[in-house]
Amino acid sequence: MLLCSCSYNGSLDILLELISRDPQRYRIIVATHNEESVRRAVQRMGELGIDKDGGSVCFGQLLGMCDHVSLTLAQQGYLVYKSVPYGSVDNTLPYLVRRAQENRTVLQGIRKERDLLRLELHRRLRQGLRQGS
């Protein structure tokens, strides 16, 4: 997995360098569920002066996977797409299982999302109780 991440991040660095030189010529979707790769892309975009909503770089994840990453990026003004597998259950379920197996960190992300949702629910409940008093 580490070798795959290094290769992905290295390729991403090359593409971001090209985009920084000619943003109208190159466009990419940073399509990953790897939070470290997303952080790295955001950091490099800042270092290279790439406009986060200029259309040259956008981010993408499968709907239901790493939604906390997608939401955070969107809230910060980055362009984000969610992929929605379409088709019969017999066709789409094996695809989704393969994606989850390829990226075991997705399972950690699901736990993290559950914990973040729980925190947000508690925050909203406390806020509602304060406003109702």
- For 66-112, what is the HEC assignment? CHHHHHHHHHCCCCEEEECCCCCHHHHHHHHHHHHHHCCHHHHHHHH
Whether residue 126 is predicted with pLDDT greater than 60 in this model: the reply is yes
pLDDT value at residue 116: 77
pLDDT value at residue 79: 96
Residue pair 38/59 in contact (Cβ under 8 Å)? The answer is yes
pLDDT in tens, 66-117: 888 999 999 999 999 999 988 998 988 888 888 777 666 655 666 777 787 7
